[in-house]
Structure 1
């Protein structure tokens, strides 16, 4: 694996993804230099995984624009996929519990050799190809901090017998075999103890320091990460004076006997409610937004 710093710069402006039942996330803006540690932080259901998939070319955006490694999204999604890798993404890139560590590593190295490199590499002697694959695997395991000798059955240990942090390290190692410029990790701190969480972030911090841009979904970001939040921005509360003025205006305009207009308001029948809000009350529909995120993620899993 090439150890030369080669991380991807990432920039997003007004980025948003929308599913059949609402917005998964909206209005994401940030800029990250190559080799940055980027933490996507937010509550469950706020579109964190959708943002991760969008920035790696696995999910089409509906608003805004982004650039990853100089490639524009959503125009260059295939090219972005070629320079990024996913780790630990449920339903999209996850470990098979029935496979052993060795089987996962062998399968990923084989796929990388056949589909991830130049065609001329397949013409080299088998001994050279195997040596290169072994080198990639060893380098990826070392970078992810996973020593097979410490596992119950070594490389013959089944995924179902791995501890949570060990499974995370294996998933990261598999993604690193392809030498991605951007590594995207989902659910980084889920079900980890405080000590394990520190170890996980230390691993990702080390990868970023070595040159790979790291994009990690989490519930609580470390202090040294570039934090990108998918949390909904609360609406500014109206003052009592403004509320009374609005109510008086509505009463004088509509009147008690005037029939209500069509959806969107009597004065502007063609108006539509803002995405993620109720047309009648203007209150935020968090349930619809969470369903939108789920729909968008399901679409990515079927892609």
Structure 2
């Protein structure tokens, strides 16, 4: 079985048509068709069935796709391990994080690592937790600092480095601030600016309301941009749900029923090879977290 054919097959399986896969790979459709035929001859069965103008993957193809992904990650790990031995404490560390972790941990960690290993360079990706975890799964990142949930501890190697709370926040002029500690029923008439429903913070908030017998909030404004949400909350006296550290000019509305404790963890792919520079960065971040004692409100 040719490794290049397997690589072509993975691209074909994850695109809608042979033409799209050919464009992505810079090859002809005929070359990809021949690669699939060679694999089918080796395996003794079809990998795709025609479906209208496109294709549908067969059960045999699904099994091969999973194995091809694993093999690609293994080959990538082998390459990185050999480069790590050749380079020692050098090369590129690919790290991802959200705004909270980047502002609190990474600047000091990068400074210390640069002093200890000046040959190391950094590629920093800033984004939402779900997107960063997908990049980690695809071996596009070596390590991420991200909010950690129970299922993450099963899938990834995790080490908690920060603890935070996600709270209700609003503008300093909101009338609910005059009422002291709130209960969830006090929020029934509130207007909201919230993240999209696909994000874990929003899912937790919705569940908090429904668990207590109230409908989930219907936001007046919905966005994945926290900067935009904060501006709208300030201008329009809305409520939002954000990390305490990230409230900036907003004011916390105390409401224990919708206060979400949250852990941030260093995450790497389970059983993946980590270059020496990544191991050193992990130890530096852990020491930085110990010194900082967590997030500053």
Q: Could you say whether these structures have the same fold, taking a TM-score greater than 0.5 normalized by the shorter chain as the test?
A: no
More helix by share: 2
Q: Which has the higher contact order (CA 8 A, sep 6+)?
A: 1
Shorter-normalised TM-score: what interval?
Answer: under 0.3
Normalising by structure 2, we get a TM-score of 0.23
More strand by share: 2
